[in-house]
Amino acid sequence: MSLVLAAADPGSQTVPSSRVAPVDAPSLTDPRYRRWLAIALLAWVALTILVLPFGIGGSWRECDTQAIARNFLLDGFDPLRPRVDWRGVTDGAVECEFPLYQTMIASVMAVLGEAEWPGRVISTLAMVMASLSLFRLLERRTGGEAAFFGTLVFLTGGHAFLLGTRVTPDATSTACAIAGLAAFVQFLDTGRTRTLALATVMTAVACLTKPTALQIGLLQFLWTLGTAPRRLRDVRVWIAWAAVLAVVGAWIVQGTRLYAETGLTFGVVAGGETKFPSLWAMRDKWTWIWLFVTTIRYGFSVFGCLGLFTLLVRGRIDRRDWLLLGVVGLGLVGTLRYSHHYGIGPQYHVFAAMAGAWFFARSWPLLTAPGVRPLLVAGLAVAAGYSVYEELADKPLSPRSVRRTNSPWCTAIASASMRSGSGAPTSKSPSCSTRRADAAGCCRRTASPSTSSRACTSRARASSSINCPRRRRPMPRPGSMPTRSR
């Protein structure tokens, strides 16, 4: 989508300066690579739809996201007051990220009926948009061929299949963040107000949807300072950044008010939740070992490491590369409590994946040794297959297996941590979910109440259960990671 918007801007056809693209960059508008990218995106979409199973299963993050969307239909469509199921004696208003993604799901369900597939489709389309925006960003920097292969690195990583198939807002935030960054880089070259406006809107939406996208705003500032300082004298740039911070700050204030009223939170700011690491964790070598393993699988990737190593050896790394690497590293350390292990926070590595694609695309013109490029293409295919394999292991419940248990797909799974004022878990009206994620993250089927507003416990007696497969992923040492993330 951002590719189409950028193409509609006459400034997008301007050949960028040497600050943005190297002098020896190949044609920036070669249509062949855009056609190949379209084919690759269609193949990726088909792979995610036909191979990876639908269904939320026992993911509490997906369950809560779907529940907020459903409650927009049951309790009133008020995006400023998102509501969860684990509400106790309150109305369920919760402090969370701005529910743009949930409102999109609710809008579809208002027309087509309650279902889980709208969120999945939105996430898939969001990853397509993110890939188009990334291609546009890389194309301005490295040319069409390198941009195409850099985008393939982004598409074949574990993060793409994870975020593109989950009912969570991460993919939507990522798409808007990369679109905002691509538009902002274009503005640095052209100075067009409407391009800056597009960058501002996309960045603001990304940060509202997931505050961790604020690192893209920091990257915009550092790239401006390091490569186009003349733009810092432009008052429009400061107004744009101030607008993003003001909008995000206003929503954070609204969230804290909701928390003060109901005591319900996802830990964005209120409730004492933090994503910052403890000093003990930062001193533990296993924290950094698992962080490296996680970013190789869901973030920077082997291809990003190869690209960075090539640029360092050949002496082609520049200021913009260092700034990108520093911002991404800061983002991972800032969320280290969750990002250090793929079992709880692989979604925090998505901007590291963007950086890995960037460095691979930057190094592509230098990888000219005989046989190297075919080997890399084969490696991309292997990476895609491995990512699909891991995602299949993570989503063992297919629609067919769910139907065999006579249990509908999870459309409103309530958290096991529901508490009322008296300490007894309660359910919202009109009914409890037919599937509930228990404290162990295992999906257990419960009997639906026959009447509305009937209380149900967080571990209601199950009429039957779905066997929970063992997770094959190794986990860190006991006590080195939290039990939940968002």
Residues 166, 169, 173, CA angle at the centre, nearest 5°?
125
Question: Six-digit token pair at 280?
Answer: 């003990």
Collapsing DSSP states into helix, strand and coil, what is residue 100?
helix
SS3 at position 403:
helix
Please state, in angstroms and rounded to a whole number, the distance separating the CA atoms of residues 43 and 240: 37
Coil/strand/helix, residue 249: helix
Q: What is the spatial distance between Cα 359 and Cα 262, in angstroms, rounded to a whole number?
A: 46
CB atoms within 10 A of CB 24: 7
In this prediction the pTM is: 0.79
Residue 467: how many other CB atoms lie within 10 Å: 9
Enumerate residues 6+ apart whose C-beta is below 8 A from 3: 132, 133, 135, 136
pLDDT for 395 equals: 63
Token output for 98: 């701005």
- Measured in degrees and rounded to the nearest 5, phi and psi for residue 93 equal -60, 130
Burial of residue 477 (CB within 10 Å: 0-12, 13-18, 19+) is exposed
For residue 371, what are its two tokens? 């046989």
Q: How many CB atoms lie within 10 A of CB 88?
A: 20
Terminal-to-terminal C-alpha distance of the chain: 27
DSSP code of residue 346 = G
Residue 97: closest CA among 204, 241, 175, 243? 204
Residue 469 CA to residue 245 CA, distance in Å, equals 44
CA distance 293 to 270: 31
Composition of the chain by helix, strand, coil, percent to 5: 60, 0, 35
Collapse the DSSP code of 95 into the 3-class scheme (helix H, G, I; strand E, B; otherwise coil) and give the result: strand
pLDDT of the chain, 486 residues: tens digit per residue: 444 444 334 333 333 433 444 433 444 567 889 999 999 999 999 999 888 887 786 678 899 999 999 999 999 999 999 999 988 889 999 999 999 999 999 999 999 998 989 999 999 999 999 999 999 999 999 999 999 999 999 999 999 999 999 999 999 999 999 999 999 999 999 999 999 999 999 999 999 999 999 999 999 999 999 999 999 999 999 999 999 999 999 999 999 999 999 999 988 888 777 788 888 888 899 999 999 999 999 999 999 999 999 999 999 999 999 999 999 999 999 999 999 998 888 999 999 999 999 999 999 999 888 888 899 999 999 999 999 998 888 765 444 333 332 233 333 333 333 333 333 333 333 223 333 333 323 222 222 332 222 223 232 223 223 333 333 334 344 344 443 334
Q: What's the Cα-to-Cα distance from 238 to each of 6, 139, 383, rounded to whole Å?
A: 22, 27, 41
Q: Residues 6 or more apart from 366 whose CB is under 8 A from it? A: 310, 311, 314, 316
